[in-house]
Amino acid sequence: MVKSNRRKFIVTAAGLAATTVVNGTPNMDTEKGNIAHQVYFWLKNPGSEEDRELLIKGIKTLRQIDSVQKLTIGIVAATEKRSVIDDSWGVSELALFKDLAGQAAYQIHPIHLDFVKNYSHLWSKVVIYDSLEV
């Protein structure tokens, strides 16, 4: 019952969020049609905490891009090791966009281009998954 009430609250809050405008800017949360842009970075120097922190600092600059609704950054979590888990990467970025246009605008935004120019020497590999929320 508590769980059910909590769900009801969350649904109600999501409904409010979808229609609330604060200071002229719509306050959106993730919802159907949003784009989740998930990036995994493998560091050139996996053992360097300094490089990892520098890359995290760089990814944080991407939050300034207008079309980014939310951007979270992660490192490998200490969950139980299993064969299906890939824990060989170094830093993860999850950026949420309202739609495909928002994601496309991010790709060519000067702040994103600067990020690639200034921080790409830190990574050896990048894998990206773009999801359309259903």
Per CB under 8 A, residues contacting its own copies are 2-3, 5-6, 9-10, 13, 22-25, 27, 30, 35-38, 40, 56, 64, 66, 70, 72-80, 82, 84-87, 89, 92, 94, 100, 103-104, 107, 126-134
Shortest Å, Cβ 45 to its own copies: 18
CB atoms within 10 A of CB 112: 18
- Closer Cβ to its own copies, 14 or 45, answer by number: 14
Shortest Å, Cβ 110 to its own copies: 15
Cα angle, residue 70 at apex, residues 23 and 73 outer, rounded to 5° = 145
Shortest Å, Cβ 73 to its own copies: 5
Q: Which two tokens stand for residue 86?
A: 């890939």
Phi, psi (rounded to 5 degrees) for 25: -115, 125
Q: Is 28 helix (H, G, I), strand (E, B) or coil?
A: coil
Q: Which two tokens stand for residue 112?
A: 């994103």
Shortest Å, Cβ 67 to its own copies: 11
Q: Which two tokens stand for residue 116?
A: 């690639």
